[in-house]
């Protein structure tokens, strides 16, 4: 009798919620080999050693499920990831390819791109959810160094049960940057060979102190906000397997604040509980994939969500809508620094996505799976940095090297090949290498349809069929005594009853065939399966639409969806019930090199039987290919959309011409295409495998280079000149030369044949014109002595004007009247400015002759003080108002010059009367 062990191979483990690692059971000859929680008191240890963190931890696990302020529906949050590989030169030093597999699975599961989600139990199919969360390798280390998102540390701590010691080993000994990797900038994933009996663990979002923003950069925060995983639970290849590959999906769920579906314990199957999410039913959890009828332990008639990623069954394949809401609430919360990790500023700083950093650069090929003798085109992506040179190497390719920006390479020999490029920029160079990047397949033997195989012939595999053995001695074999009509007595089967290599994959491959010229096509086959109670095998059908192109899952059933008879614990030696399956191949019509594989995945359940495999098609007729394009003329880098308008089409094969991305497409579309090269592009649509073809030409013009720009900085303005055609300035001008009076940046593009160049940038810096002032000058008499000029500012300038010599103004030289004096100043930058003022030169009685005696009054007008001068002695001076009354008088004392203070008099018109000897003279005086 088959011994049933608790199949926890795929259990996803953690230490969140109670600080415990999950119990993991590994297969071993059908018996039990339990890996218990090595440190069940982790949370208690946190509570004792860091009570503030413990309080924040509890607050984090109680975070609201509903969307919080700032969370944007369907916004894709990108998480930068670093895999820290901790090894001691043993198996845990897993390959880059295995790590890439782990990242791919995370993205597949969190974006609901896993094909098996379509086989979720009907009770939950409508609430399976896309988390809109994706993961990318970080490309910039904390010290600014470029790396590929992976660090490697040689240390005996790889098998330690002390997670903080493992983190410390990474900090002090990794090969990229020895220091703190901030938990609020990176999702740190530690890959080890031992975790104290766990497959993996993590903690829910937590801070270093209650209410803290979670931004403290420390080794402790790295530990409490990182994910720990065993190497053989990382990815689906290498030391891991498909069955263990979703451990990381489970752990990251805890990192995003999800609990186990049965609650915050580490004991599935013991007591019914819930996870605080409304749409996951109360459950006690499962340690293997049950029949739906056996998954109703807590509420009568309610099937429990045993296929949830947060359960312990290895048939997990979904998150619910409620769980997604809870995770998205966590990702926008400051708890544990989660709200910073996906921000644009942080993604730029760690090199995720397109940036000006050389570290973010990557390359891609238009097709990585090829048929021998075909080509693919390589290009650089994810950087806005100007690249000055390229140096490509293509193992197995022709050419083997290239210096082109986007080379096209042909591969003639089947195999798996490396590609690499060294790019150079003004700031340095970087080499990017991708091992096993290009897979080249030999063209399969083509056979004509229909393909009808009932395994009657004793030759196995049948002619032109093949088997891909996933490991071990067990694989697909012919059975010469069991089958179903019309070929009863013959079939093919695989034994998962006696083989406990859970997760092992074996393929039965059909010959190649063409679906060209058909209007419809289908695959039919008979299947028989009775599962072993509590265990679940899987059968999938995969199709490759062309030689070297990846296989796509078009049929997937497991457990109760696969069974044709109710499960029990007996070996399924004589199936009595078969089910005929039909798979539609019409989406692949038009492809001339199609191949199919039947894939079995071992769940240590029971035998799977196949019989009567038929592939057939119907020849198309009456179809007419036609399509339209959004533009007949485009530019390199712009998009052109092609819209199908064919009639009678059941399949579509597009070829968009040289330099197109994508180069080809299937499906009706519309298809949006970008061209990387200029020229006349021939676009071809073929429908129904060649039944009708339509052609159009799109002219793609080159994008001109940015204009050449020169700047001349003048005093108070800058002159900017661009050389190019069809110029367009950011100021709105289209002239070749513009003048600006500020230092704001301006841009200019040029256009040619409707294509606009990148913008050239100019930064003007007009020279500053000095500010010059000139003070006022009091009125003077024409006979006054020269006036010294000091009124100009800033000092160091020059004076000019009538009567000016150096810094002296001579009234007699200037003559009477209002005179203008100009002050000119030149700054150190060569820029000049001027200021002017005026000075009044008065005649001051013009020294009238009276009886031979000369008499003069100045200044006149006056503000209060006047001087009377005469050529002879002055006896007396009277000031008379306008009605002749004496307003002031002074004895001249026989002096020739008399000064009078008239500030006490009101403004107005007066007369000065003087007595000089026997002569009396009168002169009008104005007091202002």
Asked if pLDDT for residue 858 goes beyond 80, the answer is: yes
CB 861 within 8 A of CB 875: no
| pLDDT attached to residue 408 | 93
Asked if pLDDT for residue 29 goes beyond 70, the answer is: no
Percent of the chain with pLDDT over 90: 53
> Read out DSSP for 767-794?
BPPPP-EE-----EETTSPPEEP--EES
Alpha-carbon distances of 119 from 104, 292, 317, rounded to whole Å: 21, 13, 9
| pLDDT attached to residue 844 | 66
Cβ atoms within 10 Å, residue 187: 24
The β-bridge relationship of strands 804-805 and 808-809 is antiparallel
C-alpha 10/C-alpha 25 separation (Å) is: 9
Choose between 375 and 44: higher pLDDT: 375
Instruction: Count Cα neighbours of 116 within 13 Å in the Cβ-side half-sphere.
Output: 24
CB-based contacts of 530, cutoff 8 Å, min separation 6: 563, 564, 565, 566, 567, 568, 572, 575, 606
| pLDDT attached to residue 6 | 29
Largest interatomic CA distance in the chain? 166
Omega within 30 of 0 (cis) for the link into 486: yes
| 5: confidence class by pLDDT, cuts 50, 70, 90 | very low
The β-bridge relationship of strands 150-154 and 77-87 is parallel
DSSP state of 104: H
Asked if pLDDT for residue 258 goes beyond 50, the answer is: yes
Annotated catalytic residue 64? no
| 70: confidence class by pLDDT, cuts 50, 70, 90 | very low
CB-based contacts of 356, cutoff 8 Å, min separation 6: 383, 384, 385
DSSP state of 845: G
CB-based contacts of 860, cutoff 8 Å, min separation 6: 842, 844, 845, 866, 923, 924, 925, 926
pLDDT digits (tens, 9 = 90+) for 413-434: 999 999 999 999 888 889 999 9
Choose between 93 and 862: higher pLDDT: 93
Omega within 30 of 0 (cis) for the link into 373: no
C-alpha 516/C-alpha 33 separation (Å) is: 53
Mean pLDDT of 61-86: 72
Candidate list 148, 208, 251, 307, residue with the active-site label: 251
The β-bridge relationship of strands 387-394 and 401-402 is antiparallel
Helix/strand/coil for 359: helix
Mean pLDDT of 750-764: 89
| pLDDT attached to residue 800 | 94
* φ, ψ for residue 837, nearest 5 deg: -145, 170
CB 477 within 8 A of CB 524: no
Of 28-37, 329-338, 480-489, 577-586, the poorest mean pLDDT is in: 28-37
CB 675 within 8 A of CB 700: yes
Mean pLDDT of 865-881: 85
| 835: confidence class by pLDDT, cuts 50, 70, 90 | very high
Asked if pLDDT for residue 174 goes beyond 60, the answer is: yes
| pLDDT attached to residue 428 | 85
- Residue reference for tokens 């998102």: 149
Cβ atoms within 10 Å, residue 791: 17
CB 655 within 8 A of CB 684: yes
pLDDT digits (tens, 9 = 90+) for 769-803: 999 999 998 888 888 889 999 999 999 999 999 99
- Is residue 17 exposed (0-12), middle (13-18) or buried (19+ Cβ within 10 Å)? buried
Alpha-carbon distances of 442 from 156, 204, 369, 370, 547, rounded to whole Å: 44, 49, 11, 9, 7
Cα 439 to its chain centre, rounded Å, is 28
| 545: confidence class by pLDDT, cuts 50, 70, 90 | confident
Torsion over CA of 134, 135, 139 and 141, rounded to 10 degrees?
120
Choose between 196 and 611: higher pLDDT: 611
| pLDDT attached to residue 281 | 94
Tokens (6 digits) for 669: 């579309």
Tokens (6 digits) for 451: 């393909």
* φ, ψ for residue 268, nearest 5 deg: -65, 150
| pLDDT attached to residue 36 | 28
| pLDDT attached to residue 913 | 85
Helix/strand/coil for 841: strand
C-alpha 272/C-alpha 295 separation (Å) is: 12
| pLDDT attached to residue 534 | 76
pTM above 0.85, yes or no: no
CATH topology of domain 844-927: Immunoglobulin-like (2.60.40)
Helix/strand/coil for 337: helix
* φ, ψ for residue 766, nearest 5 deg: -60, 145
Asked if pLDDT for residue 458 goes beyond 50, the answer is: yes
CB 37 within 8 A of CB 159: no
CB 783 within 8 A of CB 730: no
| pLDDT attached to residue 73 | 65
C-alpha 158/C-alpha 915 separation (Å) is: 122
The β-bridge relationship of strands 428-441 and 369-371 is parallel
C-alpha 362/C-alpha 616 separation (Å) is: 43
C-alpha 771/C-alpha 332 separation (Å) is: 54
| 21: confidence class by pLDDT, cuts 50, 70, 90 | very low
Choose between 443 and 698: higher pLDDT: 698
| 809: confidence class by pLDDT, cuts 50, 70, 90 | very high
| pLDDT attached to residue 61 | 59
pLDDT digits (tens, 9 = 90+) for 115-151: 788 878 888 999 999 999 999 999 999 999 999 999 9
- Of the options 1.20.1600.10, 3.40.50.300, 3.30.930.10, 2.60.120.200, the CATH number for the domain spanning 451-619: 2.60.120.200
pLDDT digits (tens, 9 = 90+) for 588-635: 887 888 999 999 999 889 999 999 999 998 876 667 889 999 888 999
| 54: confidence class by pLDDT, cuts 50, 70, 90 | low
Do 773-842 and 451-619 fall under one CATH topology? no
CATH topology of domain 773-842: Immunoglobulin-like (2.60.40)
pLDDT digits (tens, 9 = 90+) for 282-291: 999 988 888 7
| pLDDT attached to residue 15 | 33
> Considering only the top CATH level, what class is 627-701?
mainly beta
Of 8-22, 667-681, 756-770, the poorest mean pLDDT is in: 8-22
Asked if pLDDT for residue 68 goes beyond 70, the answer is: no
Mean pLDDT of 729-751: 91
C-alpha 711/C-alpha 798 separation (Å) is: 32
Tokens (6 digits) for 12: 């996803």
- The arrangement of secondary structure in 373-441, i.e. its CATH architecture, is Sandwich (2.60)
| pLDDT attached to residue 58 | 64
Asked if pLDDT for residue 16 goes beyond 80, the answer is: no
pLDDT digits (tens, 9 = 90+) for 637-681: 888 999 998 877 878 889 998 889 999 998 888 898 999 888 888
| 1: confidence class by pLDDT, cuts 50, 70, 90 | very low
| pLDDT attached to residue 64 | 47
CATH topology of domain 24-67+74-262+316-349: Collagenase (Catalytic Domain) (3.40.390)
| pLDDT attached to residue 768 | 93
Domain ranges of the chain: 24-67+74-262+316-349, 373-441, 451-619, 627-701, 708-762, 773-842, 844-927
| pLDDT attached to residue 916 | 74
C-alpha Rg value of the chain to the nearest Å: 46
Asked if pLDDT for residue 848 goes beyond 70, the answer is: no
DSSP state of 645: -
Of 17-26, 201-210, 578-587, the poorest mean pLDDT is in: 17-26
C-alpha 589/C-alpha 649 separation (Å) is: 10
Percent of the chain with pLDDT over 70: 90
Tokens (6 digits) for 904: 């006490």
Helix/strand/coil for 408: strand
C-alpha 122/C-alpha 237 separation (Å) is: 31
Taking alpha carbons only, the member of 470, 123, 120 closest to residue 279 is: 123
CB-based contacts of 246, cutoff 8 Å, min separation 6: 10, 12, 105, 109, 309, 314, 316
Instruction: Count Cα neighbours of 518 within 13 Å in the Cβ-side half-sphere.
Output: 22
C-alpha 215/C-alpha 337 separation (Å) is: 6
Choose between 299 and 517: higher pLDDT: 299
CB 306 within 8 A of CB 282: no
Mean pLDDT of the chain: 86
Please, what sign has the CA dihedral across residues 15, 20, 26, 30?
negative
The β-bridge relationship of strands 780-781 and 755-756 is unpaired
DSSP state of 261: T
């Amino acid at each position: 009798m088959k011994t049933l062990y608790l199949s926890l191979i795929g259990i996803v483990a953690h230490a969140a919620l109670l600080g415990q690692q999950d119990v993991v059971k590994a297969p071993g000859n059908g018996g039990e080999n339990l890996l218990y929680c090595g440190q069940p008191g982790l949370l208690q240890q946190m509570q004792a050693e860091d009570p503030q963190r413990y309080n924040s931890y509890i607050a984090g696990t109680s975070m609201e499920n509903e969307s919080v302020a700032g969370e944007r529906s369907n916004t894709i949050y990108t998480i930068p990831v670093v895999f820290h590989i901790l090894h001691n030169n043993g198996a845990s030093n897993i390959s880059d390819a295995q790590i890439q597999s782990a990242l791919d699975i995370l993205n597949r599961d969190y974006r609901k791109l896993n094909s098996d989600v379509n086989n979720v139990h009907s009770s939950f199919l409508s609430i399976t959810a896309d988390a809109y969360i994706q993961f990318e390798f970080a490309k910039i280390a904390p010290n600014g160094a470029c790396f590929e998102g992976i660090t490697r540390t040689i240390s005996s701590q790889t098998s330690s049960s002390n997670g903080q010691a493992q983190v410390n080993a990474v900090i002090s000994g990794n090969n990229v940057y020895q220091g703190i990797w901030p938990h609020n900038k990176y999702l740190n994933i530690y890959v080890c060979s031992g975790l104290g009996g766990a497959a993996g663990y993590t903690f829910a979002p937590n801070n270093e102190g209650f209410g803290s923003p979670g931004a403290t950069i420390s080794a402790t925060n790295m530990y409490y906000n990182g994910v720990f995983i065993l190497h053989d639970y990382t990815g689906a290849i290498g030391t891991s397997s498909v069955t263990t590959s979703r451990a990381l999906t489970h752990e990251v769920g805890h990192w995003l604040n999800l609990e186990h579906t049965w609650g915050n314990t580490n004991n599935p199957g013991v007591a019914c509980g819930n996870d605080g999410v409304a749409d996951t039913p109360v459950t006690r959890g499962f340690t293997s994939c049950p029949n739906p009828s056996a998954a109703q332990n807590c509420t009568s008639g309610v099937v429990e969500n045993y296929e949830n990623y947060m359960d312990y069954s290895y048939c997990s394949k979904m998150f619910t809508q409620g769980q997604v809401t809870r995770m998205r609430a966590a990702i926008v919360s400051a708890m544990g620094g989660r709200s910073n990790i996906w921000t644009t500023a942080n993604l730029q700083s760690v090199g995720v996505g397109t940036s000006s950093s050389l570290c973010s650069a990557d390359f891609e090929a238009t097709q990585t799976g090829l048929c021998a003798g075909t080509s693919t085109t390589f290009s650089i992506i994810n950087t806005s940095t100007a690249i000055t040179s390229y140096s490509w190497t293509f193992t197995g390719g022709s050419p083997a090297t290239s210096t082109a920006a986007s080379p096209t390479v042909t591969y003639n020999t089947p195999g798996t090949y490396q590609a690499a490029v060294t790019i150079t920029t003004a700031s340095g160079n970087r080499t990017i290498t991708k091992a096993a990047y290009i897979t080249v397949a030999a063209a399969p033997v083509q056979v004509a349809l229909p393909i009808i195989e009932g395994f009657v012939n004793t030759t196995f595999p049948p002619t032109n069929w093949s088997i891909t053995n996933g490991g071990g001695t067990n694989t697909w074999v012919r059975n010469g005594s069991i089958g179903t009509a019309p070929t009863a007595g013959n079939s093919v089967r695989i034994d998962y009853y006696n083989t406990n290599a859970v997760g092992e994959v074996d393929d039965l491959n059909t010959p190649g065939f063409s679906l060209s010229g058909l209007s419809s096509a289908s695959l039919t086959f008979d299947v028989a399966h009775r599962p072993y109670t509590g265990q679940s095998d899987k059968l999938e059908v995969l199709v490759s639409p062309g030689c070297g192109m990846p296989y796509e899952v078009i049929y997937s059933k497991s457990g109760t969806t696969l069974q044709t008879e109710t499960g029990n614990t007996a070996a399924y030696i004589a199936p009595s019930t078969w089910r005929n399956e039909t798979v539609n191949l019409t989406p692949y019509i038009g492809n001339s090199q199609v191949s199919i594989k039947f894939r079995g995945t071992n769940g240590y359940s029971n035998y799977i039987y196949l019989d009567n495999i038929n592939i057939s098609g119907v020849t198309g007729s009456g179809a007419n290919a036609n399509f339209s394009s959004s533009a007949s003329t485009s530019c390199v880098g712009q998009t052109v959309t092609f819209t199908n308008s064919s009639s009678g089409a059941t399949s579509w094969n597009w070829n968009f011409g040289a330099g197109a991305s994508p180069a080809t497409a299937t499906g009706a579309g519309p298809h949006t295409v970008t061209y990387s090269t200029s020229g006349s592009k021939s676009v071809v649509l073929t429908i129904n495998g060649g039944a009708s073809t339509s052609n159009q030409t799109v002219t793609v013009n080159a994008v001109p280079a940015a204009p050449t720009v020169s700047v001349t900085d003048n005093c108070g303005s800058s002159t900017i000149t661009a050389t190019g055609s069809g110029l367009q300035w950011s100021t709105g001008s289209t002239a070749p030369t513009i003048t600006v009076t500020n230092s704001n940046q301006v841009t200019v593009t040029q256009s040619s044949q409707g294509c606009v160049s990148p913008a050239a940038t100019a930064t003007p810096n007009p020279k500053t014109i000095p500010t010059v002032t000139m003070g006022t000058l009091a009125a003077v008499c024409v006979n006054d002595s020269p006036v010294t000029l000091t009124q100009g500012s800033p000092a160091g300038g020059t004076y000019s004007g009538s009567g000016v010599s150096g810094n002296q103004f001579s009234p007699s030289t200037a003559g009477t009247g209002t005179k203008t004096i100009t002050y000119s100043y030149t700054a150190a930058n060569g820029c000049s400015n001027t200021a002017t003022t005026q000075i009044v030169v008065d005649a001051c009685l013009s020294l009238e002759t009276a009886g031979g005696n000369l008499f003069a009054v100045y200044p006149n007008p006056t503000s209060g003080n006047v001087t009377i001068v005469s050529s002879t002695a002055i006896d007396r001076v009277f000031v008379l108002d306008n009605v002749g009354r004496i307003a002031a008088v002074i004895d001249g004392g026989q002096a020739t010059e008399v000064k009078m203070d008239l500030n006490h008099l009101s403004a107005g018109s007066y007369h000065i009367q003087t007595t000089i000897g026997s002569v009396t003279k009168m002169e009008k005086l104005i007091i202002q």
